[in-house]
Amino acid sequence: MLNYRVTNHITNIKWVNIFSPWEKQRAYSALLLWFVLIYPICCLMQIFPFVLFFTGQWLILAAYGVWYLYDRKSPRRGGYRSNWFRNLRVHKWFAEYFPIRLHKTAELPADKNYLLGYHPHGIIGIGAWSCFGFNGCNAFEMFEGIRFNVCTLPGNFTAMIRREILMSIGMIESSKESIEYVLNSKKSGRAVVIVVGGAAEALDAHPGKHTLTLANRKGFVREALKTGAQLVPVYAFGENDVYKQINNPEGSFLRKLQEWGKAKTGISLPLIYGRGYFQMAMGLLPINTPVNVVVGAPLKVEKTENPTNDVIDKLHQEYMNALSDLFDAHKSKYGVDKNVKLIFQ
């Protein structure tokens, strides 16, 4: 009986169809390319300097060391995005895998600067870097004249080669110095994208769930006031569906362990699974489910170099109201029940 069940389970697995249409094959190939570049290569690049050191490749190590010292402030100085790299066709194929779609509800005039709050974080904020990093969804054409930079943790710029790849797609450090450097630029039309919920919100990234870690997240509002950047709410329907996460309700042993790890390291470790490389049942690749990224209308912000807590709280509440309205206006289009409400915690 056991052998029958195992055999039945294996035969019921949905395997990758190697004879599928070219459009699907190229989208899957683009996904594999990026997940190999971003994750396995990231791990290898962390130890690569030691490999160079112990194998006597002094010249290469010294050359990169000189470059790193010269370039170490770039993630806090706007990076050095490459429009050629960001506009490669492979990025559009990547977006087609899910597919990821970008929807504009209002104009973002290029004579102002913007701070976009992206919600929810999901597991990896895949819609944020596909739309505003890769330009996989034609954001540069849709919002003509706007230069996007996506914020990420400073630790992501520690691995050699990977740091250059991230900066080439416009990623910068998620620090006050970095954000203010971009938004205080003399040239207008700059836009910083912040995935506001961060590591804490990733622990609530379950399919069909719409819970945001936002009620006490006000730092991005303070930065908008200090720089005069217009605040723009963005909601990605389907972001929480690209991975499944092991159940970890508040108060459970697993959740307490994850929160302890986050407090010690600043990194949450959600236990997730998606699909495999050659089968659809389980693995580390994201599930191909639609992600619809809706960009709301900008909130007018008056530049205030030293905003008071009352001013910050007022704008923060205005932002949450605008985000709720954006969610309610579009949820029915993208498979969310009309009775579901956005939860702030």
Question: Domains, the chain, ranges and CATH?
Answer: 26-337 (3.40.1130)
Secondary structure element (H or E) that encloses residue 292, with its range:
strand 291-295
Q: What is the DSSP letter of 129?
A: I
Closest by CA position to 126, among listed 323, 274, 314: 274
For the chain, percent of residues with pLDDT exceeding 70: 96
**Hey, what's the torsion of the CAs at 65, 71, 72, 77, to 10 degrees?**
-170
Mean pLDDT along residues 25-52? 82
The H helix count followed by the E strand count for the chain is 14, 11
Is residue 168 scored above 70 in pLDDT? yes
| CB half-sphere exposure, 193, CA atoms < 13 A | 28
Q: What is the mean pLDDT of residues 34-41?
A: 74
Termini Cα distance of the chain = 48
pLDDT at 44: 78
Q: What is the pLDDT of residue 9?
A: 43
What pLDDT sits at residue 36?
77
- pLDDT for residue 8 is more than 60: no
The whole-angstrom separation of Cα 232 and Cα 229 is 9
User: Tokens standing for 273?
Assistant: 């699974």
Average pLDDT (135-162) is: 92
pLDDT at position 193 is 98
The mean predicted confidence, pLDDT, of the chain is 90
Position 336 pLDDT exceeds 90: yes
248 contacts: CB under 8 Å, gap ≥ 6: 203, 254, 255, 258, 270, 271
Percent of the chain with pLDDT over 90: 65
Q: What is residue 5's predicted lDDT score, i.e. its pLDDT?
A: 42
- List the structure tokens of 310: 């009352």
Higher pLDDT, 215 or 18: 215
Residue 100's pLDDT band (cuts 50, 70, 90): very high
Residue 241 DSSP code: G
pLDDT higher than threshold 90 for residue 21: no
- When comparing pLDDT for 49 and 178, which is higher? 178
Collapsed DSSP state (helix, strand, coil) of residue 13: coil
Q: Cα–Cα distance between 330 and 335 in angstroms, integer?
A: 9
pLDDT tens, residue by residue, 203-248: 999 999 999 999 999 999 999 999 999 999 999 999 999 999 999 9
**Amino acid 12: pLDDT:** 62
Give strand pairing partners of 152: 173
Residue 7's pLDDT band, with cuts at 50, 70 and 90, is very low
pLDDT digits (tens, 9 = 90+) for 40-70: 777 777 788 888 888 888 899 899 999 999 9
Question: What's residue 269's pLDDT?
Answer: 84
Most confident of 39-48, 76-85, 123-132, 258-267: 123-132
| pLDDT at residue 268, as a whole number | 80
Give pLDDT, residue 277. 79
> Is 3 a residue whose pLDDT tops 70?
no
Closest to 303 measured CA to CA, from 109, 113, 110, 77: 113
Contacts 24+ apart (CB under 8 A), 4-7: none
CA distances from 144 to 111, 167, 193, 319 (A): 11, 21, 16, 24
331 confidence band (pLDDT: 50, 70, 90): very high
Q: State the Cα–Cα distance between residues 321 and 1, nearest whole angstrom.
A: 57
Average pLDDT over residues 132-151: 95
Higher-pLDDT residue of 159 and 12 is 159
